[in-house]
Amino acid sequence: MINVLLFIEYILKYLGIDFSVYGVYGQYVQEILVYLIASLLILLAASLTIIIVIYIFRKYMADLQQRIGPNRVGPYGLLQLIADALKIFGKEDIIPDRADPLLFRFAPYIVFTFLVLSYLVIPYGNLFGLDLTFVNVKYTLLLLIAFSAIAPIGEVIAGLSSGNKFSMLGALRAAAQDLSYEIPMVISALGVVVLLSGYGDSLNLANIAKYPWPLAILEPIGFFVFFIAMVAKMAVVPFDLPESESELVSGFNVEYSGLRFGIFYLGVFGSVFLASLFISVVYLGGGSDFIFYGSGYIWLLIKAFIFMFIFLTLWIALPRIRVDKFMNFGWKILLPLSLINLVWSVMLVGLGVF
């Protein structure tokens, strides 16, 4: 099995690109180019995935609500997203007078950049002998948690830098929501690390995904906490507190228009599929081969799309929870449950059961 980064190196050699002209820096130039190409591939794949998720969401929501959904632009409405993109590109990019221009401009790019970086550290498994693991260091679990935690900071910056009272309230809600779900999420993930401490690098997502049994069976409480945390991480109904259209107009991004608003919009759906991949890798074996060799990537996509439809169903069917209700739920229910799960993991390892 060949790693995707080595595959890119072989392609560069096949194309006859000579890095020796850079002298002692040739190896570094080659590595930078390989990672740049890998990052562009992930960016392209993530963008295409987000487009697919948006289309599926629109059609799925229409079906659940007994509507037709987009069907005018292109066959089955497939070109509707292109029309929407052209409309967004044509809109004026307005910066409010009371906004901080620098922070206001860069906040959307903070969200999208760390969203793409999160996709980069996901181990996608084996596809017919090609190992689709772009970053395989010891601490990819910590990297993914860190990247996914930094992305919401962009939302907070966007709200605080807009100079709008509704944006500020959305930013404060985003900060409170992040604290309420991220701590239980990290503690529940720590339970997985403890459980797999005897199986090599338990902070490596690729090693976690290789465990033959779904960890959701061994840690049902941790799986429940992690699932709820993923729903809160996406910041969609029932936990769309930072936006809350019926209360805050559009929340933290109310002052945004044009391309920057479109980036926030893409970030929402990108986080939906990222959460589906994250929970599939940590608790359901990720891209482990099943039935036949080289099918790991296919099985990861199947698991991720199942979770994606579950998330979208919750988004469409449930009402928004009240802010104080979510805070109480996060600190009084999710946090104690995550600690109970951690104790359970320590007991399984300490008693030699696992």
Classify residue 50: in a domain, yes or no.
Answer: no
pLDDT, position 229: 93
Classify residue 11: in a domain, yes or no.
Answer: no
Classify residue 82: in a domain, yes or no.
Answer: no
| Residue 32 tokens, joined | 């930078």
pLDDT, position 224: 95
Q: What are the angstrom distances between the C-alpha of 114 and each of 107, 111, 121, 283, 339?
A: 11, 6, 11, 23, 28
pLDDT, position 354: 65
User: What is d(CA 178, CA 29) in angstroms, rounded to the nearest whole number?
Assistant: 38
List, for residues 127-153, the tens digit of each pLDDT value.
877 777 788 788 899 999 999 888 888
Question: Do the strands 126-127 and 2-3 form a parallel or antiparallel pair, or are they unpaired?
Answer: unpaired
Classify residue 75: in a domain, yes or no.
Answer: no
Residue ranges for the chain with pLDDT beneath 70: 1-2, 21, 24, 247, 289-294, 353-354
Classify residue 323: in a domain, yes or no.
Answer: yes
Report whether 320 contacts 240 (CB < 8 A).
yes
Classify residue 197: in a domain, yes or no.
Answer: yes
List, for residues 247-282, the tens digit of each pLDDT value.
677 777 888 888 888 888 888 888 999 999 999 999
Classify residue 123: in a domain, yes or no.
Answer: yes
- Which residue spans within 130-228 are E strands per DSSP? 130-131
Provide the domain count of the chain: 1
pLDDT, position 291: 62
Query: What is the residue range of 183's domain?
Result: 91-350
Mean residue pLDDT of the chain comes to 84
Whether residue 220 is preceded by a cis peptide bond, meaning omega within 30 degrees of 0, is no
Classify residue 12: in a domain, yes or no.
Answer: no
List, for residues 314-323, the tens digit of each pLDDT value.
988 888 888 8
Nearest to 148 by CA among 186, 102, 176: 186
